[in-house]
Structure formats: C-alpha cells, structure tokens
Amino acid sequence: MDIPGPSETQGVSPRVPSVEQFPQDHICEEVHRRVQFVREQDIQRQVHIILEWDRLVREEQARLDKEAVRAEQEDREIESYSADDPPYTPTYSPLYTDYMLPEYGSTRTAS
C-alpha cells in the first residue's frame, strides 16, 4: 500500500499520516519504536536518580568523616590538656568565706 502524497490528502498534513495510511507492519514498528523510546527515557531517568543519590550519599559520608576526624582531634586535645595539667585542688577565694563552702571542712553554717 502506498502512502498518498500531499496533493492526495485533502487537508491532512503529510508529516502526520492517519492510521489508515500505514500498513499494519509499519504501525507495529512505530508502536515498538515508541515503547522502546519510553523505556530508554525511563532507564535514563532511573540512572540519573541513582547517580544523584550516590553523589548525595558520598557528600554526606565525606561530611561525617570530616566531623569524626574533628571530634577525634578534640578528644586528643582534651586528653593532652588533662595529662599536662596538675589535678584540680579547690582553693579559697577572698570572695567566699568558709561558711559558704562547708564541704571543705568548715563547721560553721550560714545564719
């Protein structure tokens, strides 16, 4: 079956032929081509989503790794301070009197 030319199609665009103008095998090929195109588009969309998810996971893992390294450094700094400093011994300040600090041996109480 031949596809009619532009002069034979009264008012129908030759770029968009009607279903009757196609033989059955051409219709099947066109449907198959369109289904394949949609599948490829869907696969490309899924790949894009997977790649974006992977990028976000890698960024978050890098952030968590940096945070862990920073916390480790802070822990080491705290350990080095406590190893170098003498043990804490409370001293009486002139601002406090012994009745304000009874746990350090004073027997007087506030009146």
Q: Name residue, tokens 């027997």.
A: 107
- Which residues, other chains included, contact 27 with Cβ-Cβ below 8 Å and sequence gap of 6+? 19
Structural contact between residues 25 and 33, judged by C-beta atoms closer than 8 angstroms: no
pTM: 0.42
> What's the pLDDT tens digit per position in 75-97?
888 777 655 566 665 565 555 55
Which of 26-30, 35-39, 50-54, 105-109 has the least mean pLDDT? 105-109
Structural contact between residues 69 and 61, judged by C-beta atoms closer than 8 angstroms: no
> What's the pLDDT tens digit per position in 7-19?
554 554 556 556 5
Domain ranges for the chain, please list them: 20-83
